[in-house]
Amino acid sequence: MITLVSWDDPEVKRLRDAQQSELADLYGEEDLGHDMTGEDIAAMVLVREDDAPVACGAIRDLGDGVGELKRMYVVPEARGRGLSRQVLAELERVAQDKGFTRLVLETGVLQVQAMSLYMSAGYRSIPNFGEYATETSSRCFAKDLHAEPRPRGAKHPGTLTLRRVPWDHPDAVALRYAMWRDIEVRYPEIVAAVPGGFAVDDPQQGVGTISSVIADLDGVPVGCASLRAARHGFPAGSGELKKVWVNDDARGAGAARALLIAIEDDARAAGLTSVVLQTGIRQPEAVTLYLSVGYRPIAPFGPYTDDLLSLLFGKAL
């Protein structure tokens, strides 16, 4: 049973304390918001099963129609039964009733189940805000409550074919350069920090490549993807999905999904047990694609451990 209660409800307080203790054990230090009070709390929900408190969640009013999800928690013995999703749905319903138009939240990079929940419910990455702005162990997400669903793209006419090519094949280089130009717009701070630009960086990115695939639409190269051998600090048995790119005018043809299937086939053929990838927090369409084909958030690894702009995903093969 889900009910609205006060922030200071004794059962809620026990759950909040349990959550903070769990976070301290997970991260080795107290959560930045461990001393949060009930000030500005717009709603607090509690779930009971057989009269025992098992889950909770809150909305804090940030003003201007924005609410922040806080203290989402399910006791360990009640996990795996969909309670967190019930709490989230109830908080969204309450938020809309109270006139909120947007919900934001912060969660930690080691809480991969929480990130999976939020992403599957339509939350997408935003820059870290408030006290979490420079916290590399945090990721922030948002969802517009009254946003109209995006229409699905029309099926693109034409014949899609795939071909495997060397990393330095001219068509593959041209497609990756188009991707680089897009990154210049989305992440100018990253591109500006790369010595020598694309001409120097691209060959370095290709070191350790296992497979490179190009998608052609009616004989015209429109997309690419590559599989690179795992580097230091990567999960055991993994290969890294790199440089997934499809031209705007070819989206809707199924090229991205076809490329991912081909890369996963190549990873299996190479004896790998998983594929991992990094994408940026400013690429919601990429996140949606990866979630739709079975990739799930994983803890940061290798060079991405302290990268505020990265989200990490993996898929067992």
**Predicted confidence pLDDT, tens digits, the chain (317 residues):** 999 999 999 999 999 999 999 999 999 998 887 788 999 999 999 999 999 999 999 999 999 999 999 999 999 999 999 999 999 999 999 999 999 999 999 999 999 999 999 999 999 999 999 999 999 999 999 999 976 555 555 556 789 999 999 999 999 999 999 999 999 999 999 999 999 999 999 999 999 999 999 999 999 999 999 999 999 999 999 999 999 999 998 988 999 999 999 999 999 999 999 999 999 999 999 999 999 999 999 999 999 999 999 999 999 99
CATH number at residue 46: 3.40.630.30
Closest by CA to 279, choosing from 241, 252, 235, 306, is 241
- Residue 58 forms beta bridges with which residues? 44, 70
CA 72 to chain centroid: 18
Q: Which of 83, 110, 144 is the last residue of a domain?
A: 144
Quote the DSSP letter at residue 156.
P
Give yes or no: residues 264 and 311 share one domain: yes
Task: Give residue 10's domain range.
Answer: 2-144
> 87 in a domain, yes or no?
yes
d(Cα 145, Cα 18) in Å, to the nearest integer? 29
pLDDT score, position 148 = 57
Label residue 252 exposed, middle or buried (CB < 10 Å: 0-12, 13-18, 19+). middle
Co-location of 178 and 110 in the same domain: no
Query: pTM to 2 decimals?
Result: 0.90
57 and 99 inside one domain = yes
What is the model's pLDDT at position 219?
Answer: 95
* Whole-number pLDDT of residue 158: 87
**In angstroms, rounded to a whole number, what is the distance separating the alpha carbons of residues 90 and 56?**
10
Q: Are residues 139 and 186 in the same domain?
A: no
Contact 20, 51 (CB under 8 A): no
Distance CA 209, CA 202 (A): 12
31 class by beta-carbon count within 10 Å (0-12 exposed, 13-18 middle, 19+ buried) = middle
The reply to whether 109 falls in a domain is yes
Domain count along the chain: 2
